[in-house]
């Protein structure tokens, strides 16, 4: 009995540490990107009102800005798995958008192949995550009932 109690406490502690680690990681990403965005914004606008960078850089920054806005709009659900997936969706979409920019402007064959792989892989992962989330939507439990169970509730 004592062993089970200790195992449950250990599992609870591990989940807590994992949750804290995820929060710290996400916070670090947001801070890092904020600094990158501030630097990129200063570089884009330079000393005058004319942009000082190429459109490839502007498109990469726009992809990151879009990702940050989408990630900031995610509301905490209280379920670390759901929160992780909801935050990863815009992250993966940004990777796809940035890879498309690479295909438009990049010259290196190896980087262009990598960009194509990123598009393919990240899109598949987005579809997997969307499917996973859909299975966990509150209305989904009603849809998963057998026809007999549904008929009993309708009467």
pLDDT for 56-91, tens place per residue? 999 999 999 999 999 999 999 999 999 999 999 999
Q: Max alpha carbon distance in the chain (Å)?
A: 72
Q: For residues 69 and 41, which has the higher predicted lDDT (pLDDT)?
A: 69
pTM: 0.57
Nearest to 133 by CA among 89, 97, 96: 89
Would you place residue 145 in the very low, low, confident or very high pLDDT band (cuts 50, 70, 90)? very low
Which tokens belong to 116? 């194509």
Which spans in 47-146 are helix H?
55-72, 80-105, 109-135, 140-143
Residue 73: its pLDDT value, please?
Answer: 96
Question: To which H or E segment does residue 16 belong?
Answer: helix 2-45
pLDDT tens per residue, range 96-128: 999 999 999 999 999 999 999 999 999 999 999
Cα 47 from chain centroid?
A: 34
> CA-CA distance, 33 to 16, in Å (whole number)?
26
pLDDT tens per residue, range 3-39: 655 566 656 667 666 665 666 667 666 666 555 555 5
Which tokens belong to 133? 């989330």
Nearest to 71 by CA among 20, 132, 134, 29: 29
Other beta carbons within 10 Å of 37? 14
> CA-CA distance, 53 to 21, in Å (whole number)?
36
Residue 85: its pLDDT value, please?
Answer: 97
């Amino acid at each position: 009995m004592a062993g089970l109690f200790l195992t449950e406490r250990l599992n609870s502690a591990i989940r807590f540490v994992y949750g804290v680690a995820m929060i710290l990681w996400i916070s670090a990403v947001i801070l890092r990107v904020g600094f990158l965005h501030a630097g990129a914004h200063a570089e884009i606008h330079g000393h005058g009102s004319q942009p000082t960078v190429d459109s490839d850089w502007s498109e990469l920054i726009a992809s990151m800005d879009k990702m940050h806005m989408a990630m900031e709009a995610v509301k905490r659900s209280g379920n670390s798995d759901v929160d992780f997936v909801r935050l990863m969706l815009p992250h993966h979409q940004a990777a796809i958008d940035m890879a498309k920019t690479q295909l438009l402007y990049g010259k290196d064959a190896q980087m262009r192949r990598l960009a194509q792989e990123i598009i393919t892989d990240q899109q598949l992962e987005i579809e997997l995550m969307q499917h996973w989330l859909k299975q966990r939507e509150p209305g989904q439990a009603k849809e998963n009932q057998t026809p007999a169970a549904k008929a009993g509730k309708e009467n």
